[in-house]
Amino acid sequence: MSDPIRIVNDATCTFCGCVCDDIVLTVDTEQHRITKSQNACVLGKAWFKEHGIEERPHALIGGREASTEEGVEEAAQILANARFPVIYGLSDTTCEAQRVAVSIADMIGGNVDTTTSVCHGPTGIAFQGVGESTATLGEIRNRADLVMFWGGNPAEAHPRLFSRYAVTPKGMFIPNGRKDRTVVLVDVRRTQSTPVADIFVQVKPGADFELLWALRALVRGRRVDGAAVERRTGIAMAVLEDLVVRMKSCRFGVLFFGMGLTMTRGRHFNAGALLSLATDLNEFTHFVAAPVRGHGNVTGADNVMSWQTGFPFGVNLSRGYPRFNPGEFTAVDLLSRGEADAAMFIATDPASNFPKPAIEHMHRIPVISLDPKPTPTGQLSHVVFTTATYGINVAGTAYRMDNVPLPLRPAFDSP
């Protein structure tokens, strides 16, 4: 009898944008379950534990069990007959699936959007405006001696960003790990990440842009009205001047930034200000900026959308060529305004997090959903497909948050 226990080395966790590829999985091939996930953080362990094989219909049409072929035919009819359909989600599936989804949108002349539009969409807009100074997480681990986090809480959202890449690990030019790094956190409130920082800068809510612009001015040696900056941002000039000295004199600095910057007042202006600050600092030292991405392959979604259409999200293909217009062709807006007449959701659950008018419209139109798990979106969908989980049952490619593509090593097959 063959041993039902299988070990998968160097498996990849696709739960968050860190896409850790050093996981050792212990798989019970008889029970179709992962029993142990060595090296994974608490979030990764839960991800691997929850994705066993459940007895579920492969497809549902109108709530009734159907074959996959019947589901495909019904879904194809919906998409082919729609006049202004939207395809949305894509950040929790492989690049191979993403490119097929974009092709379908192209074929039917529809809209295609990803969850980037509700997280780092403003960053995508800012990239186009001011560019980006980049590095891989490997470079950051080996070289960064000043690590800044702006508007995010990695301790809870990306636990291994600290331990694997940016704060504690020893690197080629950071031989003493944490001791060789200065860590700065900028946020509107204290979080579980705050104790990790050497310097915590508590900016007033909604004043990130002003704070970034004041830092830009100080880096460039311009005169700044310290009292006015403090009134607006809550940060004293002495703190900013000390920060600027550290930023200009470090050997390799990084500005990680999260949705606290991109989804608050200012949005793409905030992201653009931070990217410009990193660029300014390159006149004095080496400095990079890095958005901290949430979903496991949201960065892949940006890449696939960009290489297929030229734009990272919110694309319309009705005229036979791509048009990019966030606010017009983004899923939340198409649904909230009642414009989309059909929707296909791939590995996403907008019925749980979209605004009420968008969800109400989803009840009025034919919806197709593809997801490994039952979801509220599946409940309101006309056609539902149960899919295998990427990285656990499906091989393919996922992009880490630093745009490095990684191969997935699935643990066991799915029906």
Nearer to ligand SF4, 20 or 197 (CB): 20
Nearer to ligand SF4, 40 or 368 (CB): 40
With contact defined as beta carbons under 8 Å apart, do 169 and 180 qualify? no
Nearer to ligand SF4, 1 or 42 (CB): 42
For 354, list phi and psi in degrees, rounded to 5. -80, 160
Give me the least distance between CB of 290 and ligand SF4, in Å please.
15
Give me the least distance between CB of 14 and ligand SF4, in Å please.
7
Nearer to ligand SF4, 102 or 119 (CB): 119
CA dihedral in degrees (183, 185, 186, 188; nearest 10)?
Answer: -170
Tell me the CA distances in angstroms from 204 to 133, 197, 393, one per residue in order.
27, 18, 45
Tell me the CA distances in angstroms from 349 to 91, 177, 207, one per residue in order.
11, 39, 32
Give me the least distance between CB of 33 and ligand SF4, in Å please.
18
Residues with Cβ within 8 Å of 279's Cβ and at least 6 positions away in sequence, in order, are 130, 131, 133, 287
Which residues would be at the binding site for ligand SF4 (CB under 6 A)?
Answer: 13, 15-16, 18-20, 40-41, 43-44, 158-160
Tell me the CA distances in angstroms from 342 to 101, 102, 345, 356, one per residue in order.
15, 16, 10, 17
Nearer to ligand SF4, 18 or 240 (CB): 18
Q: Within 10 Å of residue 53's Cβ, how many Cβ atoms?
A: 17
Mark residue 55 as left, alpha or beta (left: phi above 0; alpha: psi -120 to 50; beta: remaining).
Answer: beta
Nearer to ligand SF4, 15 or 257 (CB): 15
